[in-house]
Amino acid sequence: MSNRIDPALAVLGEFGLIGRIRERIRHRSSGTVLGIGDDAAVLRIEPGRELLATTDMLLEGVHFRREWGGGFALGRKTLAVNLSDIAAMGGQPLYALLGLGIPAAGITLAEVEEVLAGLEAEADAWGVTLAGGDTCKSQSGLVLSVTLLGEAPAGRAIRRSGAQPGDGLWVTGRLGGSAAGLLALEMGLRSGAAWPPHVARPEWLGPEEEAAIQAAVSAHLTPVPRLTAGQALLQCATAMIDLSDGIASDAGHLCRESRVGVRFFAYQLPVHPGATVMARWTGRDVLDLVLRGGEDYELLFASGTDPRPILAGGAPGLSVARIGEVHAGPPEVTLTGADGQTDVLTGGFDHFRPGA
C-alpha cells in the first residue's frame, strides 16, 4: 500500500464515511430514540435497570497488526473485548459508540469497510446498536475505540468487591489460548491457512497439535464474550472479573477489591490445548501463558454455591472449572502446585512495564 491516502477514501471524505456507517447499521436495541446523525444519541433505559458504561480501544502496533487477522476479525474483536466487560458485570449490552482513527496513509476504504462489517456482525450477534462515534485521521496506525453501554437490574451488577472467605473460585473456558495464538501469529502462522513453507515445523507437531494452534489463533483473533454466562451468574456469583491481562493480575484486582486472599491450585487450571503445544514449541513455560498471557476474555468469579447447574442452563456447552478458593488472609493471590508448594503470584500484562 502506498504512503498516500486511498483515493476512494479521499473522495468519500469524513462525512461520506460516516454516511456509509449510518447506512450499514441496524437498530437492534429498542430504546434508540435517536441514533447516528445528531450531536448526541438519545437512548432510553427501562425503569428498575442501571446503566453500565465501559470503553476499550485497540491500537495498531500495540494490540494488533493488520496483516494478522484481516479487518473482519478485527472489527469483531473491537466490540467483543468491550462486550466482555459488560459480561463481567452480569449485564446486557445495548449501545456502542465507535471512535475511529483512520491512518492518513496505508489503508483502503475496502479495508475500513471490512472492519465495520466485522463490528456490525458482532453487534448483530448480541443485539447491540451502534448509536454514534467519532471519525478522525490518525498520524500513526489504525485506532479503534469502542464505548459500550449496557444495563443490569438495579443494584445487581456483579462487582469485583463481593468475594467472601469460603467462596469457591471458578473460571469459564480454557486459559492461555490467546497468548498461544499470539505466539503462533508472531512465528508466522495465519488463521485458517496451511503451514507456511518458511516456518520450520517441529517433527513432533502433527495434525492434532496444528488444530490446537489454530484454535488458539482463533481465541486470540476472535474472542467470544461470555455474555450469557455472565448474566446467568447474577444468580450466584459474589464477585466477578473478565480476564484481559492474565489471571495472575486480574485475580489480584478481585482480591484487593474484596479484601480477601485468593488461593489457586495449579493442577486445576484449565489449560488451552494450544498453550500446551506453543509452550513446547517455543520453550515457554505453559503455566506462564496460562497465568500471565492475557486476552483470554474468560470470566473469573467467586461463588458460595456450585455454579455448574446454573451455567449448564444459561451457557450450555461452556466449560467451567473450580480453580481455587477465597480465604480471609492478606489480599494476595497464591498458587499451590501439585507438590504442595505455595507461591505468591505476581505479573500479568501492564502497558507501562518496560518491554511490554
CB of 54 to ligand ADP, least distance (A): 17
- Element holding 137 (H helix, E strand): strand 129-138
3-class secondary structure, 333: strand
- Helix 207-221 and helix 273-282: axis angle, to 10°? 110
- Cβ contacts of residue 239 below 8 Å, gap of 6+? 158, 159, 160, 161, 162, 163, 167, 254, 257, 258, 301, 302
User: Which of 308, 316, 272, 273 has its CA nearest to residue 174?
Assistant: 272
Toward Mg ion, which CB reaches closer, 13 or 37? 37
Residue (39 or 203) nearer to Mg ion, CB: 39
**Shortest Cβ 41–ligand ADP spacing (Å):** 6
Query: Which of ligand ADP, Mg ion, none lies near 157, with the C-beta cut-off 5 to 8 A by kind?
Result: none
* Residue list 90-119, contact with ligand ADP (CB under 6 A): 98, 100
Q: Which positions from 133 through 152 interact with ligand ADP, judged by CB under 6 A?
A: 133-135
Select 52 or 112, whichever has its Cβ closest to ligand ADP: 112
- Give least dist CB 97 to ligand ADP, A: 7
According to the binding rule CB under 6 A, does residue 123 interact with ligand ADP? no
How near is the Cβ of 134 to Mg ion at its closest, in Å? Answer: 10
**Interface residues for Mg ion in 17-76 (CB under 5 A)?**
39
Q: Which of 3, 11, 38, 208 binds ligand ADP (CB under 6 A)?
A: 38
Residue closer to ligand ADP by CB (options 116, 237) is 116
Question: Whose CA is closest to 36, among 25, 28, 47?
Answer: 25
Dihedrals phi, psi of 292, to nearest 5 degrees: -125, 5
Burial tier of 85 (Cβ tally within 10 Å: 0-12, 13-18, 19+): buried
Identified binder of ligand ADP from the candidate list 18, 89, 149, 262, rule CB under 6 A: 18
Q: Given the rule CB under 6 A, which of 33-41, 83-91, 287-295, 304-312 is the region that contacts ligand ADP?
A: 33-41
Residue 148: CB atoms within 10 A of its CB come to 26
- Report the C-alpha gap between 213 and 219 in whole angstroms: 10
Pattern 160-199, binding to Mg ion, x per CB under 5 A?
----------------------------------------
By beta-carbon proximity to Mg ion, the closer residue of 21 and 212 is 21
What does the block give as the cell for 192? 485458517
8 Å CB contact between 74 and 64: yes
**Sign of the Cα pseudo-torsion (6, 36, 227, 30, in order):** negative
Closest approach of Cβ 98 to ligand ADP, in Å?
4
Q: Among residues 118, 132, 223, 294, which is the contact residue for ligand ADP, using CB under 6 A?
A: 132
User: Alpha helix (H) ranges present in 88-235?
Assistant: 109-126, 177-187, 207-221, 227-232
Can you tell me which residue has the cell 449496557? 150
User: What is the per-residue binding string for ligand ADP in 270-309, x denoting contact by CB under 6 A?
Assistant: ----------------------------------------
Contacts with Mg ion by CB under 5 A lie at 39
Contacts with ligand ADP by CB under 6 A lie at 18, 21, 36-39, 98, 100, 130, 132-135
